[in-house]
Amino acid sequence: MSTFTTSDGVEIYYKDWGAGQPIVFCHGWPLDADSWESQMIFFADKGYRCIAHDRRGHGRSSQPWDGNDMDHYADDLAQLLDLLDVKNAVLFGFSTGGGEVARYIGRHGTKRLAKAGLISSVPPLMLKTEDNPLGLPIEVFDGIRAAQLANRSQLYMDIPSGPFYGYNRPGATPSHGIIQAWWMQGMLGGHKNTYDSIKAFSETDFRGDLKKFDIPTLIIHGDDDQIVPIDAAGRASAKLIKDSKLIVYEGAPHGLTDTHKDKVNADMLAFVKG
């Protein structure tokens, strides 16, 4: 496996497919780089270099007890891009990975980037506060934490079986393969790491980071996203990023990189080439 060790001693797994302009993918919670495989094989086959890593504590990366926060996630990403000397890259983030993208740009700038993309992403801020009334109450995230401590395996079966892919909607046809792949990726992650990451993706305020975006940015979000509601996320991010394009998928769920992968791939390709 391809790995590198961060400055604080965490071993990070990454995959590096193909050759050409780099496209870098940051995954969601509690998943790993494999969650992007439908996009990576699509782009690598079209002459792009596709790079994705397993966030610290997730997938095949090591499981540090501390440092499971957005600053460390962003710094790990920066070290990977420096190691590979990535230039003129397009950086995409899905869900929690969108927070990683935002914090990376906020802390490290865009010198290695040509464009960015936020797909079903958590910025600007998921938590409901006095100045963020569209966010979700803290009780929602406390509930996820409690469910993880009570029975993590069952939680990781319930989420993809229901709201993540919209399989709880009338007429939906669940894919057991997709559900099992989600569960497997989640269970590979560390219990403590994925638990801590709930706070990272829900309570981190990315509004300042988004204001530092100075490259073209694609935002894709489903208007039936039950995990990261579009009004608090995709639409709010589009208002904060100067050079952004928002594409709303009517009726699409959170996990649209799987349920709508052909449309997602086409829209991402048009953005990369445009």
| Average pLDDT taken over every residue of the chain | 98
Is 58 in contact with 8 (CB distance < 8 Å)?
no
Domain at 2-273, CATH homologous superfamily: Alpha/Beta hydrolase fold, catalytic domain (3.40.50.1820)
Residue 94 CB neighbour total at 10 angstroms:
29
pLDDT digits (tens, 9 = 90+) for 208-219: 999 999 999 999
Give, as one character, the DSSP assignment of residue 55. P
The residue extents of the domains of the chain are 2-273
* Whether 254 is catalytic: yes
Is 39 in contact with 32 (CB distance < 8 Å)?
no
Q: Is the pLDDT of residue 264 over 90?
A: yes
What is the spatial distance between Cα 177 and Cα 169, in angstroms, rounded to a whole number? 18
pLDDT digits (tens, 9 = 90+) for 4-53: 999 999 999 999 999 999 999 999 999 999 999 999 999 999 999 999 99
Q: Which residue is associated with the tokens 């966030």?
A: 55
Cis peptide before 30 (omega within 30 of 0): yes
**Amino acid letter for position 25:** F
- Identified catalytic residue from 35, 95, 121, 161: 95
- Identified catalytic residue from 75, 196, 209, 225: 225
pLDDT digits (tens, 9 = 90+) for 135-188: 999 999 999 999 999 999 999 999 999 999 999 999 999 999 999 999 999 999
- What tokens appear for 183 in the block? 């569960």
- Identified catalytic residue from 58, 221, 254, 260: 254
Residue 39 sits at the vertex; the CA angle it makes with 125 and 215, to the nearest 5 degrees, is 50
Residue 235 CB neighbour total at 10 angstroms:
16
Q: Is the pLDDT of residue 131 over 90?
A: yes
What is the spatial distance between Cα 274 and Cα 270, in angstroms, rounded to a whole number? 6
- What tokens appear for 187 in the block? 């269970």
pLDDT digits (tens, 9 = 90+) for 64-101: 999 999 999 999 999 999 999 999 999 999 999 999 99
| Confidence (pLDDT) at 6 | 98
Sign of CA dihedral 243, 83, 267, 118: negative
| Confidence (pLDDT) at 1 | 79
| Confidence (pLDDT) at 44 | 98
Residue 40 CB neighbour total at 10 angstroms:
21
Closest CA to 51 of 76, 71, 30, 33: 33
| Confidence (pLDDT) at 146 | 98
* Whether 244 is catalytic: no
* Whether 260 is catalytic: no
78 CB-near residues (< 8 Å, 6+ apart): 104, 107, 108
Question: What stretches of the chain adopt beta strand conformation (E)?
Answer: 2-5, 11-17, 22-26, 49-53, 89-94, 113-119, 217-222, 244-249
- What tokens appear for 74 in the block? 């962003």
| Confidence (pLDDT) at 112 | 98
pLDDT-above-90 percentage for the chain: 100
pTM of model > 0.95: yes
